[in-house]
A and B are shown apart, each in its own frame.
Chain A
Amino acid sequence: METFLSQLIFGLQRGTIYALIALGYTMVYGVVRLINFAYGEVFMIGAFISFFLVNAVSLPQPILVVLALLVPMVTCSLLGLAMDALAYRPLRQKPRLAALITAIGVSFFLSNFVSYSSGETVRSSAIAAFLLAGILLLYVLGVKYLNFPVKASPNFKPMKFVIPIVSLVLVGYLFWSARDLLVELRWKGSSFASYPVDRLITVEKIPLYKSVYITNIQIMNFLVSVILMVVLSYLVNRTMTGMAMRASKNNKDAVALMGVNVNRVISITFIIGTALAGAAGVLSAITYPRLTAFMGVQPGLKAFIAAVLGGIGSIEGAMLGGIIMGVAEQFAIGLLPSSYGPSRIDFTPLADGVAYAILIVVLLLRPQGIFGEPPREKL
Chain B
Amino acid sequence: MKKSLVVLLALAVALGLVLGGCQKQAKEVKIGIIAPISGEAATFGESTANGAKLYFDQVNAAGGVEGMKIVYFVEDDKGNPTEGANAYSKLIDQNKVSAIVGTVMSKVSLAGAPIAQNKGVPMISPTSTNPAVTLVGNYIFRACFIDPFQGFVAAKFAYNDLGKKTAAVIYDSGNDYTKGLAEVFRDEFTKMGGKITAFESYTAGTSDFNAQLVKIKATNPDVLFIPNYYNDAGLIAKQAREMGIKAIFLGGDGWDSPDLFKIGGKAIEGGFFVNHFSKDSQVPAAKKFVADYKAKYNKDPDALAALAYEAAMIVVDAIKRAKSADPKAIRDAMEKTNLETLTGVVKFDQNRNPVKGAVILECKNGQAVYKASVNP
Residues of A in contact with B (beta carbons under 8 Å apart): 2-3, 6-7, 10, 13-14, 119-120, 189, 191, 193-194, 203, 205, 211, 213, 215, 288-290, 292, 294-295, 297-298, 329-331, 333-334, 338-340, 346, 348-349, 351-352
Interface string of B50-84 (1 = CB under 8 A from A): 00000000000000000000000000101000000
- Cα–Cα, bound, A143→B196 (Å): 63
Q: Are B207 and A193 in contact (CB-based, < 8 A)?
A: no
Which residue of the partner chain B has the closest CB to A14? B208
- B370 part of interface (Cβ distance < 8 Å): no
Tell me which of A2, A211, A289, A339 has the highest count of chain B C-beta atoms within 10 A of its own C-beta. A339
Which B residues, 183 to 209, have Cβ-Cβ distances below 8 Å to chain A? Answer: 186, 196, 198-203, 205-208
Q: For residue A295, which residues in chain B have a CB less than 8 angstroms away from its CB?
A: 205, 207
Q: For residue B243, which residues in chain A have a CB less than 8 angstroms away from its CB?
A: 6, 213
**Given that A333-B212, A338-B200, A340-B186 are contacting pairs, would A203 and B242 also be in contact in the complex, using a CB cutoff of 8 Å?**
yes
Q: How many A-B residue pairs have CB under 8 A?
A: 104
Q: Closest 5 CB pairs between A and B?
A: A340-B199, A119-B38, A288-B207, A333-B211, A10-B210
Inter-chain pairs besides A10-B211, A333-B211, 9 sampled, C-beta below 8 Å: A3-B217, A10-B208, A189-B262, A193-B263, A194-B259, A194-B265, A203-B242, A290-B231, A338-B201
Please tell me which one of the listed residues A10, A13, A119, A193 contacts residue B259 in the complex, with CB atoms under 8 A apart. A193
Please tell me which one of the listed residues A13, A213, A289, A339 contacts residue B199 in the complex, with CB atoms under 8 A apart. A339
**Given that A191-B262, A340-B186 are contacting pairs, would A349 and B173 also be in contact in the complex, using a CB cutoff of 8 Å?**
yes
Task: For the complex, count residues of B whose C-beta is within 8 A of A.
Answer: 40
Which residue of the partner chain A has the closest CB to B183? A339
Which B residues, 14 to 49, have Cβ-Cβ distances below 8 Å to chain A? Answer: 37-40, 42
- B345 part of interface (Cβ distance < 8 Å): no
- Cα–Cα, bound, A13→B259 (Å): 26
**Given that A10-B211, A194-B234, A295-B207 are contacting pairs, would A215 and B242 also be in contact in the complex, using a CB cutoff of 8 Å?**
yes
Q: Are A6 and B199 in contact (CB-based, < 8 A)?
A: no
Q: For residue A191, which residues in chain B have a CB less than 8 angstroms away from its CB?
A: 259, 262-263
15 contacts between A and B (CB under 8 A): A6-B214, A10-B210, A119-B39, A119-B76, A193-B231, A213-B243, A289-B238, A290-B231, A298-B206, A330-B211, A333-B212, A334-B215, A338-B199, A348-B200, A348-B212
Q: For residue A194, which residues in chain B have a CB less than 8 angstroms away from its CB?
A: 234, 259, 262-263, 265
- Cα–Cα, bound, A280→B78 (Å): 28
Interface string of B244-270 (1 = CB under 8 A from A): 100000000000000100110100000
Q: For residue B169, which residues in chain A have a CB less than 8 angstroms away from its CB?
A: 340
Q: Are B196 and A340 in contact (CB-based, < 8 A)?
A: yes
- B218 part of interface (Cβ distance < 8 Å): yes
Q: Are B203 and A3 in contact (CB-based, < 8 A)?
A: no
Tell me which of A3, A294, A338 has the highest count of chain B C-beta atoms within 10 A of its own C-beta. A338
Please tell me which one of the listed residues B202, B218, B263 contacts residue A3 in the complex, with CB atoms under 8 A apart. B218
- B329 part of interface (Cβ distance < 8 Å): no
Q: Are A348 and B173 in contact (CB-based, < 8 A)?
A: yes
- Cα–Cα, bound, A351→B38 (Å): 29
Q: Are B262 and A193 in contact (CB-based, < 8 A)?
A: yes
Which residue of the partner chain B has the closest CB to A189? B262
Q: For residue B355, which residues in chain A have a CB less than 8 angstroms away from its CB?
A: none
Q: For residue B40, which residues in chain A have a CB less than 8 angstroms away from its CB?
A: 292
- Cα–Cα, bound, A2→B198 (Å): 17
Q: Are B201 and A349 in contact (CB-based, < 8 A)?
A: yes
* Minimum C-beta distance from A332 to chain B (A): 8
- Cα–Cα, bound, A14→B239 (Å): 14
- Cα–Cα, bound, A114→B279 (Å): 35
- B115 part of interface (Cβ distance < 8 Å): no
Which residue of the partner chain A has the closest CB to B243? A6
Please tell me which one of the listed residues A2, A288, A348 contacts residue B235 in the complex, with CB atoms under 8 A apart. A288
Which B residues, 209 to 235, have Cβ-Cβ distances below 8 Å to chain A? Answer: 210-212, 214-215, 217-218, 231, 234-235
